[in-house]
Amino acid sequence: MQFIYLLLALTLFSPTTSEYTSLNREVYDVQSLDVDSNMYYTILPYKTELDAQMNAVLCYSTQEMKKTKPESLLGNWTSDVCLEMAQDMYEDDIDLSFFNTGGLRSPIPQGEITIRDLYKLMPFENELVVLELNKTEMLDLKAYFNFTKGQPIAFADDFTLNDSLFLVLTTDYLANGGDKMKFFKDKTQHKVGIKMRDALINYCIKKDTISSNLDERHLILFDEN
């Protein structure tokens, strides 16, 4: 710890206009350094309280949910839950939810599900938003879905590709063009008022048991040939 303080002091008080004459690299094993007992016992009460909150059991999962393509138990569950929770908060009818497989960072285990499990699944502070897509943009989304061999998606019961306007639930990260979703860029983002992770947490709080299933929903957007 004293070594870290020394580095900070050198950084703060060194002149800002320096020229490098040499560069040496040294590796330190931080695990072998002595723990600063004052710092440890200062942090310990907060760590204990945080661990208690993160380990709180929310519900029970009947199965392990992992991500795969073209559809998965994990992708179907997260997209279904977000669509249901967002629809309860949003005044207009949402046609579909659309997310990215890469954003799901950890599987849901079978058994007791804790807040920590959902933070591991969704560690990002992404907010749920609704975008309006016209038919051409919806076909671009379909082409992206086919090219990437599937993404987490859920549809309203009356969904049809024959509509001319589509309300799509996604995250603000993807709405800004993340994961190369260009068909979302420069769209007005209608905020639902909840983060994706919080929607999942709130759903689990409401349910004693959660589960998922594979239903070939990807075929709605997949090309036939």
pLDDT tens track for 49-100: 666 688 999 999 999 999 999 999 999 999 999 999 999 999 999 999 999 9
Q: What is the pLDDT of residue 53?
A: 81
User: What gap in Å lies between CA 184 and CA 170, rounded to an integer?
Assistant: 9
Task: Identify whether 219 is part of a domain.
Answer: no
Strand partners, 59: 113
* Total count of domains within the chain: 1
The domain of 123 spans: 57-212
Task: Identify whether 198 is part of a domain.
Answer: yes
User: What gap in Å lies between CA 95 and CA 106, rounded to an integer?
Assistant: 27
Domain harbouring 146, CATH code: 3.90.780.10
Task: Identify whether 157 is part of a domain.
Answer: yes
CB 183, CB 189: distance < 8 Å: no
Mind listing the pLDDT tens digit for each residue in 155-208? Answer: 999 999 999 999 999 999 999 999 999 999 999 999 999 999 999 999 999 999
Mind listing the pLDDT tens digit for each residue in 112-130? Answer: 999 999 999 999 999 999 9
pTM as predicted: 0.79
Mean pLDDT of 3-7: 40
Q: Radius of gyration over alpha carbons of the chain, in Å? A: 23
Mind listing the pLDDT tens digit for each residue in 209-218? Answer: 999 999 999 9
Q: Which residue intervals of 27-96 are DSSP H helices?
A: 37-54, 73-89
Task: Identify whether 148 is part of a domain.
Answer: yes
User: What gap in Å lies between CA 194 and CA 127, rounded to an integer?
Assistant: 6
User: What gap in Å lies between CA 199 and CA 86, rounded to an integer?
Assistant: 8
Mind listing the pLDDT tens digit for each residue in 136-155? Answer: 999 999 999 999 999 999 99
Task: Identify whether 165 is part of a domain.
Answer: yes
